[in-house]
Structure 1
Amino acid sequence: MHVKGFPLHTDSKSMAFVRSFMRCYLAGAGFNTRGMQNIGLMYAMQPGLTAIHTDPKKLRDALKRYVRHYQSHPFWTPCLVGILLNVEQAIATDHFPPKMLTKVKDTTAYSLSAIGDSVFAGSLLIFWAMLSICLLLSGNPHFAFAIGLFFLAALQIFRIYTFTCGVRQGFKFLKQLKQWDLINWGRRVKYANAILLLWLWTLIWPRPYQWWELLLGVSALLIFGRFVRTGLLSRVLAVAVFVGLVDLFTWINESGWTGFAL
């Protein structure tokens, strides 16, 4: 591989890939309603594509492949960029047909987006938020800060690892991701979130309280959750009704009316 008659050194390509990785942090900055995150993806891919495709025409064709619609969870962007850079190297050596890339790219992006929404947004982020709130309310701010640093560092390690594996293995890395069983791990984290929710309730529930009051609140939340999951009730309406019942119950206790007392 040459640039204007000079060989392209491995160090140059490595640094270009590092720049592509760093640009992944800005993938959402160019968000738009037409292509979603396509501008950010093309911006992240540009250094690596420039190092891979030395012919100007092939470089333009490569950039055009990423102008189209793209949307995925931001935590997976480094992994996707790494995989796509691996594929572009295969395209440059005529080992992968460019016409297949769009379909494969979209399928991979949407699949990882679903996993990201479930595991990261729907499980781990909520776990970190509720754990931090509970620690702060229980008088442990330093522990809460340490937990935040731990998750922040873990996320960066995850980004670096998935990007590196994507560059080295390409689509083969998806088989390894499948073995991680992330969907089931997300479900386990949600069970932990339920426990954290109970802990949070014990911290914020007006004191003094009796055990049956907390049991009544948990039962009501489970019922509303069931209605939301089956589609019989919207989330916003369920929260509004639940909060209204809590306020009503608080008003009954404060007014001294003991009609519901056990």
Structure 2
Amino acid sequence: MAVHGIPPMRADTKTVAFLRSFLRCYLTGAAFNTRGMQNIGLMYAMLPGLQAIHEDPKDLRAALKRYARHYQSHPFWTPCMVGILLNVETTISAGHFPPRMLAKVKDTTSYTLSAIGDSVFAGSALIFWALSTICLLLTGFPVLAFAIGLVLFLGLQVFRAYTFVCGVKQGFRFLERLRHWDLINWGTKVKYANAALLLWLWTLIWPRPYDWWEFAVGLSALMLFGRYVRTGLLSRVLAVAVFVGLIELFPWLETMARNAFGL
């Protein structure tokens, strides 16, 4: 029996259906929209699992409506979120969880995971990969750069699969385990490593020959701009424009200073 144009579920076991939901997590951003953000992608990922959980068409329609509203989170956390929601839907079908409470809990969880994802993955891990790859390529180690990228890519897939399985098995209880992982502090440590990589990159691309004090001035200026950007006193675009402008004017300013002091 079809439900509002949705084809009836095939004779898949629940395990196969959940596997299909996991694989669909890679496509949740394909139907991104300005109203519901990733809600259509979330419904698409949840559908096989919901069909396995709710065999009654009426219950399936009600379950799908729970995911038609706004949803937004970091894509690396989507499998974890889908796994948790499938666990909750199983509990709802058994009558042990009130459906009306799901919306609030879902929003709180998705926004929290989104913030962690932006800090740890987008703001730390991805930058580490990019900087390390650039530095290794510039120093003549393309194979090592490829190997690091491959290890990080495979590690991400293991992370996505692991968090999905844990979400399916433990539901919201898995969030307590995530809290003990202390991911925010790990992200901070990776950012320190990124700062060292950025300094290494500067030494590789800085025009030669150069005096040590020139490098120190450039590094100090970058740190100063970073401080004001972080506090919100200076926009990122303006900071980059000013910094690039100073780089272009630096040779002229250096010549003026040498002539003025007779150096």
| Common fold by TM > 0.5 | yes
Aligned runs of 1:76-155 on 2, under 5 Å?
A: 76-155=77-156
| CA-CA distance at 1:247 after TM superposition | 1.4
Partner Cα separation in structure 1 for residue 221 and residue 244 of structure 2: 11
| 1:231 partnered with 2:232 | yes
Q: 1:247 to 1:58 in 2, by over 3 A?
A: same
Give me the identity figure in percent. 72
Match of 2:46 in 1: 45
Partner Cα separation in structure 2 for residue 260 and residue 124 of structure 1: 47
Partner Cα separation in structure 2 for residue 150 and residue 209 of structure 1: 36
| CA-CA distance at 1:45 after TM superposition | 0.1
Letter of the 1:200 counterpart: L
Match of 2:217 in 1: 216
| CA-CA distance at 1:248 after TM superposition | 1.2
Match of 2:55 in 1: 54
* 1:154-185 per-position Cα deviation (integer Å, ceiling 9, x unaligned): 00000000000000000000000000000111
Paired residue secondary structure (2:134): helix
Specify every segment of 5 or more residues in structure 2 that has no aligned partner in the other structure, as ranges: 1-9
Partner Cα separation in structure 2 for residue 260 and residue 141 of structure 1: 46
Partner Cα separation in structure 2 for residue 49 and residue 117 of structure 1: 29
| 1:23 partnered with 2:24 | yes
Partner Cα separation in structure 1 for residue 36 and residue 185 of structure 2: 31
TM-score (norm: length of structure 2):
0.93
Paired residue secondary structure (2:148): helix
Partner Cα separation in structure 1 for residue 162 and residue 106 of structure 2: 20
| 1:205 partnered with 2:206 | yes
Match of 1:258 in 2: 258
| CA-CA distance at 1:258 after TM superposition | 2.8
Letter of the 2:72 counterpart: Q
| CA-CA distance at 1:211 after TM superposition | 1.4
Letter of the 1:192 counterpart: A
Match of 2:177 in 1: 176
Specify every segment of 5 or more residues in structure 1 that has no aligned partner in the other structure, as ranges: 1-7
Letter of the 1:247 counterpart: E
* 1:200-249 per-position Cα deviation (integer Å, ceiling 9, x unaligned): 00000001112111111111111111111111110100011011111111
* 1:85-110 per-position Cα deviation (integer Å, ceiling 9, x unaligned): 00000000001000000000000000
Partner Cα separation in structure 2 for residue 260 and residue 176 of structure 1: 64
* 1:27-56 per-position Cα deviation (integer Å, ceiling 9, x unaligned): 000000000000000000000000000000
TM-score (norm: length of structure 1):
0.93
Letter of the 1:143 counterpart: L
Partner Cα separation in structure 1 for residue 244 and residue 92 of structure 2: 56
Paired residue secondary structure (1:258): helix
Partner Cα separation in structure 2 for residue 68 and residue 81 of structure 1: 15
Of stretches 134-143 and 78-87 in structure 1, the one that deviates more from structure 2 is 134-143
Letter of the 1:121 counterpart: A
Partner Cα separation in structure 2 for residue 72 and residue 149 of structure 1: 25
Partner Cα separation in structure 2 for residue 260 and residue 34 of structure 1: 61
What is the total number of aligned residue pairs between the two structures?
253
Letter of the 2:258 counterpart: T
Partner Cα separation in structure 2 for residue 225 and residue 75 of structure 1: 27
Letter of the 2:43 counterpart: M
Match of 2:7 in 1: none
